[in-house]
């Protein structure tokens, strides 16, 4: 039994149970992604997963402020095709999923959002990606610069005015070491 946009089926004891109709799965289209790229060129903020200089042949992943997530190919240090995209609402697009005319079979042309942009926009996009800000890199400290937990406890004990936690030595003997620790902080 079906009624008003919902499916009904016979439940236990002859009662009908209403279940929601499955949402239609839809994909982004290349023109939507090209519009997002145009906004990026116009100055929309974004972050890249790594700098252009680290990629000679590969993929640069971008997170746009508007919520779009794009993967742009870089081929021999030049702007390539859009490999994949995810819209802010969760719809996806993958290279090869959209063609200009499916009836042409293998001769059908793949629609690529980057290729839909005019040549001047492609150059501007490449320039913007070459100077992209990247996700923050993890802090990298040298092993010598790391402070042990015991050293940190001694420093915090002094800052609170607590007793110096030492192994029987006096404060005067620890003065040079204390100065080194304070310079390192």
In a domain, 59, yes or no: yes
Q: Quote the tokens at residue 79.
A: 């702007």
Contacts of 29 (CB under 8 A, 6+ apart): 93, 98, 111
**Could you read off the pLDDT of 148-170 as tens digits, one per residue?**
556 666 666 655 554 444 444 44
Domain holding 39, by residue range, is 30-130
In a domain, 40, yes or no: yes
In a domain, 37, yes or no: yes
Contacts of 63 (CB under 8 A, 6+ apart): 46, 47, 69
Q: How many domains does the chain have?
A: 1
In a domain, 46, yes or no: yes
pTM here?
A: 0.59
Please give the pLDDT value at position 150: 61
In a domain, 54, yes or no: yes
In a domain, 180, yes or no: no
In a domain, 8, yes or no: no
How many H-runs (helices) and E-runs (strands) does the chain carry?
Answer: 5, 8
Please give the pLDDT value at position 179: 64
**Could you read off the pLDDT of 121-152 as tens digits, one per residue?**
999 999 999 998 887 655 554 444 555 556 66
179-185 CB contacts, 8 Å cutoff, 24+ apart? 181/147, 181/151, 181/155, 184/145, 184/147, 185/147, 185/155
In a domain, 68, yes or no: yes
Average pLDDT over residues 56-80: 93
Closest of 93, 125, 123 to residue 111, by C-alpha: 93
């Amino acid at each position: 039994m079906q009624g008003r946009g919902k499916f009904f089926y016979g439940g236990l004891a002859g009662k009908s149970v209403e279940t929601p109709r499955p949402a239609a799965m839809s994909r982004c289209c290349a023109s939507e992604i090209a519009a997002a790229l145009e906004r990026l060129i116009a100055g929309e903020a974004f972050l890249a997963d790594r700098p252009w200089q680290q990629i000679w042949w590969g993929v640069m992943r971008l997170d746009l402020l508007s919520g779009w997530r794009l993967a742009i190919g870089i081929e021999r240090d030049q702007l390539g095709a859009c490999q994949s995209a995810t819209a802010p609402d969760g719809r996806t697009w993958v290279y090869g999923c959209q063609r200009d005319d499916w009836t042409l079979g293998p001769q059908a042309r793949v629609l690529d959002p980057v290729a839909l942009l005019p040549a001047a926009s492609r150059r501007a996009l490449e320039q913007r990606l070459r100077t992209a800000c990247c996700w923050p890199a993890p802090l990298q400290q040298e092993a010598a610069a790391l402070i042990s937990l015991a050293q940190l406890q001694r420093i915090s004990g002094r800052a609170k005015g607590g007793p110096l936690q030492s192994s029987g030595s006096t404060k005067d003997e620890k003065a040079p070491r204390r100065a080194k620790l304070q310079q390192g902080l």
